[in-house]
Amino acid sequence: MKKTILFLMNGFGIEQVDSYSVYSKDLMPNLDSYTKNYLFSSIECKYTNLDDGLLYFSTGAKLPLTYSLIDRIYNDFSSSKNFNFYLKNIKPDANIHIYAFIESDRVLEHLKSFTNFLNKNTSSKIFIHCVLTSDNIDNYKEVEKIITRIHYDFNNCKVATIIGEEVLKEENQTGYMNMLKNEVGEKWKELNKKFTSLYNSKVAPRNMKEFIMNESFKLEGNDNFFFFNYEYTNIENFIKNISNITDTNQMYSLFPINGIKYPMLAYPKSGISSLNSLKKINCKALVVSNSKRINKINYYLTGLSNVLSNNLYYIKSDNDFLSNENNLKAIMDDSFDLIIIDYPIDTFATIPEIKDELKKIDDILKVMADYATERDYTLFISSLYGMKKELPYDNFTRYLVDFSTKVPFVVIDKVFKKDNFRIDIGDTYNLAHTTFTSISSKYSNGSVLIKKKGFKLKK
C-alpha cells in the first residue's frame, strides 16, 4: 500500500475562452510551480456540478442509472402493480399534470411511452410542465428541441408551463402558484426567442423563472400530479405551497421524492463504485468535506446506496478546518491509505470570494505537497467538475466563470519524474482508476492516466 492523497478543488477547471480570468500564477504561485515542476496535464470533464461529477468518478455512469432502469420497463407499464395502483387513483374528472424533469433527449422516448400508456387507460387531459435541470446555458438548444417535440408529437398532451428546478425548490413561490391557479404570468410561444434571451443573459436553465407556453391548464381540486423525475430533488416547498390550492394526496412520482407517498420505482444501485474498489484492495479511505456535502458524497461513493462502511470515514471541514496546518497533518496519519479532500469553490457567491478561496487553497497545497514529499506519499491535485455560471464581481458587473470541459491533473511524487513519465489522454473516471492503482498494484481495473514515456498502446 502506498498512501495517496487526492485533493479535489471541485468547481475549478481550465478556463474557457469566454470566461472571466479568475486563475493566475500570482493568485496561486504554488500550484503554478507544481504544474511546471511535476507531471501535469488537463483531463476531460464535461460535468459542471457535484452530483454528475461524483456519479461519473465513482461509477463511470455518464447518465443517471435510472435511465437504464426506465429503458427496461417503458414499454411495459401495464405489468407494474405500482403503475396500476396509480391508475386506479386517478379520479374521472381530474386532469393529469406531469412535471417532466428535462436533462437530455432521453426523456422523450420514456415520457412518450408513459403518456401513451395513460391515454389508453384514462380519459384525462394531460398537461406537461417542463422542469429544466441543467446548470449549463448551452443546454438551452437541446431543451428547445425536446419541448418542441413534446408539443407537436405527443397525443392528448399540452405543454403548460416551463420552470427551472431551483425555482421549484424556493420557499416563496407566490408567482408560480398564481400562474397555476389563475394562468396569470409571463407567456411565450416562441421558445427560440425566450431561450435566446435567457442564454444571452447567462441564466442557467435550472435557475430560469417560470413562464406559460400554453393556457387552459388551470388547476382543479381533484387534479393529479405526477413527477417524472430521474434523480432525487427536494420539492417540499412546492408541495407545501400547492397544498393551498389542490389536494396533495393526488401526488405521485417516478422515483422517490420527499413528500411523495407513492413513488413508482426504487432508485437502482450501481455494481461499480468507489467503495467496491476500496474493498477490492482492502483500503481505508478518509473523506474530508463540509457537513452539507458529506451525505451526498457518501451516497455516490457507495454506489447510490447510502450505506456505512468500514472502508470509508468522514471528517467535517467546516470553519476553515483545512487552513490549520496541524489539522492537515492529523488527518494524514497512517491510519488511512487514501485521503480524499473535497474543497469546493463553486459554493461561493462572487468572483472576489472565489479568488480568496483559491489563495487559501494554494497555501494548503503547499503544506500538503511538502508533507507528502517528506513522507513519500503520492499527492494528486485535480477536480471532479468545472463550474460554469455567471457571478457578480461587484454590485454593478457580472461575468461568466467557465471552468467547464477540462480540469487539471497534477502528480506530486518523486517516483513519477517528468523525464520518465507522461499523463495520457483521459477523464475523471480514469482519475479514479489511477488513484486506486496508486494505492495498490493489486487494483487492475480500468485505464490509468500515468504512463511511462515510450509506452505504446496495442492496436
DSSP assignment of 124-188 equals: --EEEEEEE--S-GGGHHHHHHHHHHHHHHSTTEEEEEEEEHHHHH-S--HHHHHHHHH--S-B-
List pLDDT tens digits, range 268-319.
999 999 999 999 999 999 999 999 999 999 999 999 988 999 999 999 999 8
- Residue 20, classed as helix, strand or coil, is coil
- What residue has cell string 483500503? 283
Which parts of the chain have pLDDT scores under 70? Answer: 248, 455-459
Q: Cα(386)–Cα(394) distance, rounded to whole angstroms?
A: 22
Q: Cα(226)–Cα(261) distance, rounded to whole angstroms?
A: 11
- Exposed, middle or buried: residue 283 (CB in 10 Å: 0-12, 13-18, 19+)? buried
> Which residues is 252 bridged to in the sheet?
226, 262
Query: In the prediction, which pLDDT does 455 show?
Result: 54
Q: Residue 252 corresponds to which amino acid?
A: Y
- On whether the pTM is more than 0.85, the answer is yes
Which helix (H) or strand (E) segment holds residue 53: the answer is helix 50-59
Q: Cα(412)–Cα(306) distance, rounded to whole angstroms?
A: 32
Query: In the prediction, which pLDDT does 459 show?
Result: 35
Percentage of residues in the chain with pLDDT exceeding 90? 73
Q: Cα(56)–Cα(47) distance, rounded to whole angstroms?
A: 9
Q: Residue 353 corresponds to which amino acid?
A: E
Q: Cα(99)–Cα(160) distance, rounded to whole angstroms?
A: 10
Q: Cα(55)–Cα(425) distance, rounded to whole angstroms?
A: 20
